[in-house]
Amino acid sequence: MKDGNSGNFSEEFLENLLLGNRHQCSEIAKKYLAQSHTYPELYEDVIRVSLYEVGRLWEINKISVATEHLATAISEGILNELFSQIVSNKRINRKVVVACVENEMHQVGAKMVADTFEMQGWDSYFLGTGIPAAELVRYIHETNPDLIAISLSIYLHFTNFLKLLEKFSVEFPDLQIIAGGQAFRHMTPEITARVGNILLFPDLYLLEKYIQFLNSKN
């Protein structure tokens, strides 16, 4: 869980994201981990917190779309730097397909989800953005995963999300679907109730516990 000094790191990380200082952001992440913080804590309490604030600043026209894109690219680059360190050597022979809703342009959150599964020994197939729904369905048939994880960052794409769930209900009626993303922060219980029998995860900590629960049944 978040501790007392994560806020200081997230503020410094955010400041350097907005300045486009990739090297300094990378150093902040390394320093945070060196203080006995976990990778999920870095992802959740530093990177995700900072990116949500970047998104908020863009929504209220405090920063340009170029600055927002650069902040996103820097964050994803740091995740890529860390990937070899986070993969668990203990594999459990389970697979998850992780993708974004069609027309989404933000994939960092989905990448964090894929990494969280890798930390717990799963094989994650991270597809990111730009995957048409029909192609995603085809890929899931090809890979036969144990779980599907979908990211929704922009609430305007909620209709696409519901359409995707309809396809899944027909094509994969017995496959568990999980979802998360910034868009769900703005939804009322009445709206989220429309998603049906899927699991929504507001943060990586709860996702991590869920994966550990699944692993315990393996």
Domains and CATH numbers, the chain: 6-86 (1.10.1240.10), 95-216 (3.40.50.280)
Residue 164 Cα to chain centre, angstroms: 18
Instruction: Point out the residues of the chain with pLDDT beneath 50.
Output: 1-2
Phi, psi of 96 (to 5 degrees): -135, 135
Q: Which run of H or of E encompasses 176?
A: strand 176-180
The answer to whether the Cα torsion of 143, 216, 42, 109 is positive or negative is positive
Instruction: State whether residue 217 is helix, strand or coil.
Output: coil
Residue ranges in 35-173 assigned as alpha helix (H): 39-41, 49-59, 65-86, 108-119, 133-143, 158-171
The pLDDT value recorded for residue 183 is 86
Amino acid in the structure at residue 44 = E
Instruction: State whether residue 109 is helix, strand or coil.
Output: helix
Token pair in block for residue 35: 């203080």
Residue partners of 68: CB distance under 8 A and separation at least 6: 54, 55, 57, 58
